[in-house]
């Protein structure tokens, strides 16, 4: 049982006009096995929340805390956060030319687990995870995210999540750019990891479409850099009908 606890989080970025505050006091607790949907309009700060937790250097934490099972996440380097059990599935996964998927996965898993996986079991593990995500085995010889379609990038993110076995995963707009089939495959992957590994999930999305496949336990409406309303799955239905208009004007 793990808990990610975010308290009073304020985050700024440096712009040409000086520091600009994006997150204005975020409070959120995610436990193992729970799925929290963070929904909000573009520019509300959803991705900033995701990247701040993962430790992207662009964002400055001005106040507040983030802990994972009591450990201070904000005090950790980016790789230490991953080792502690956090995972960020990115909206725009980065290309790494000349580095094959298989080399990348093996290096990452070795770093997270603290020892190189046994060759024999590792090959089977990757193969099975890839086949469950309907990925061609030849995929592992390609360079990381280079020339991947939108759907391939997202599947590759979920593949990593499956192999790295995090405690808490943040899925940043994982549904964007996916057609219906790819959305189903990726969602099934997320649900599989959630069931098998008792994963806690922060699911960031603009649209309710993905919530038909990944059922949230909690829905948080995000606007103006903080959570402005919270509820159960029924809140998503309301958002689907009314949109974010009432929150944006507030």
Partner 1 sequence: MALATLTNYMTPTGREEPWRFTPLNRLAGLHDPQVSLRDRISLEPLDIPVGVSVTIEDAEAFPSLSETSDQIVIRVREGASKLLLLTIESNAEIREPIFLKREVLDLSPEVSRVQINAGANSHAIIVIENSGEGVFAEEIEFNLASGANIKFITLQEWSSRAVHVARHHAIVARDASFTSFVITVGGSLVRILPTVEYTGPGSTAELFGLYFATDGQHLEHRVHIDHDVPGAKSRVNYKGALNGDSARTVWIGDVFIKAAAQGTDTYELNRNLLLSHGARADSVPNLEIETGDIVGAGHASTTGRFDDEQLFYLMSRGIPAEQARRLVIRGFFSEIVSKLNLESIEVRIMERIDNELAEVIA
Interface residue list for partner 1 (CB under 8 A):
54-57, 77-79, 81-83, 87-88, 90, 93-99, 103-104, 107-108, 111-112, 143, 160, 164
Long-range contacts of 145-152 (CB under 8 A, 24+ apart): 145/93, 145/94, 145/95, 145/96, 146/95, 146/96, 146/97, 148/93, 150/176, 150/177, 150/178, 150/182, 151/177, 151/178, 151/179, 151/182, 151/186
User: Rounded to the nearest whole angstrom, what is the least distance from the CB of residue 232 to partner 1 in the complex?
Assistant: 31
Cα–Cα distances in angstroms (integers) from residue 103 to residues 124, 131, 150, 158, in the given order: 15, 18, 21, 17
User: Rounded to the nearest whole angstrom, what is the least distance from the CB of residue 244 to partner 1 in the complex?
Assistant: 29
Q: Is residue 213 within 8 Å of 246, Cβ to Cβ? A: no
- Round to whole Å and give the CA distance between 155 and 134: 9
User: Rounded to the nearest whole angstrom, what is the least distance from the CB of residue 88 to partner 1 in the complex?
Assistant: 6
In the bound state with partner 1, the residue whose beta carbon lies nearer, of 106 and 226, is 106
In the bound state with partner 1, the residue whose beta carbon lies nearer, of 3 and 103, is 103
Q: Report the SS3 class of residue 237.
A: helix
User: Rounded to the nearest whole angstrom, what is the least distance from the CB of residue 215 to partner 1 in the complex?
Assistant: 26
Single out the residue of 174, 175, 184 nearest to residue 213, CA to CA: 184
In the bound state with partner 1, the residue whose beta carbon lies nearer, of 94 and 138, is 94
User: Rounded to the nearest whole angstrom, what is the least distance from the CB of residue 108 to partner 1 in the complex?
Assistant: 4
In the bound state with partner 1, the residue whose beta carbon lies nearer, of 83 and 206, is 83
In the bound state with partner 1, the residue whose beta carbon lies nearer, of 98 and 147, is 98
User: Rounded to the nearest whole angstrom, what is the least distance from the CB of residue 97 to partner 1 in the complex?
Assistant: 5
What's the number of CA atoms in the CB half-sphere (13 Å) around residue 199?
29
Reported residue count of the chain is: 250
In the bound state with partner 1, the residue whose beta carbon lies nearer, of 11 and 236, is 11
User: Rounded to the nearest whole angstrom, what is the least distance from the CB of residue 242 to partner 1 in the complex?
Assistant: 35
Q: Give DSSP secondary structure letters for 136-184.
A: -GGGGGSEETTT--HHHHHHHHHHHHHHH--SEEEEESTTTT--HHHHH
In the bound state with partner 1, the residue whose beta carbon lies nearer, of 42 and 77, is 77
């Amino acid at each position: 049982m793990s808990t990610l606890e975010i308290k009073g989080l304020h985050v700024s970025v440096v712009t040409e006009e000086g520091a600009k505050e994006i997150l204005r006091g975020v409070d959120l607790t995610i436990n193992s096995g729970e799925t929290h949907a963070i929904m909000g309009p573009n520019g509300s700060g959803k991705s900033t929340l995701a990247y701040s937790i993962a430790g992207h250097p662009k964002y400055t934490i001005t106040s507040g805390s983030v802990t994972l099972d009591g450990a201070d996440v904000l005090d950790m380097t980016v790789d230490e956060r991953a080792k502690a059990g956090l995972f960020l599935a990115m909206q725009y996964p980065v290309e790494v030319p000349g580095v094959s998927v298989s080399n990348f996965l093996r290096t990452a898993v070795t770093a997270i687990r603290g020892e190189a996986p046994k060759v024999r079991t590792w090959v089977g593990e990757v193969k099975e995870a890839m086949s469950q995500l309907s990925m061609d085995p030849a995929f592992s010889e390609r360079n990381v995210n280079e020339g991947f379609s939108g759907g391939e990038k997202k599947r590759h993110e979920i593949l990593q999540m499956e192999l790295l076995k995090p405690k808490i995963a943040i899925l940043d707009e994982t549904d964007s750019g996916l057609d219906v089939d790819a959305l189903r495959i990726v969602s099934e992957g997320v649900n599989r990891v959630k069931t098998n590994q008792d994963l806690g999930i922060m699911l960031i999305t603009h649209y309710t479409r993905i919530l038909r496949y990944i059922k949230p336990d909690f829905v948080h409406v995000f606007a103006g850099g903080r959570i402005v309303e919270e509820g159960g799955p029924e809140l998503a239905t309301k958002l689907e009908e009314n949109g974010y208009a009432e929150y944006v004007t507030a």
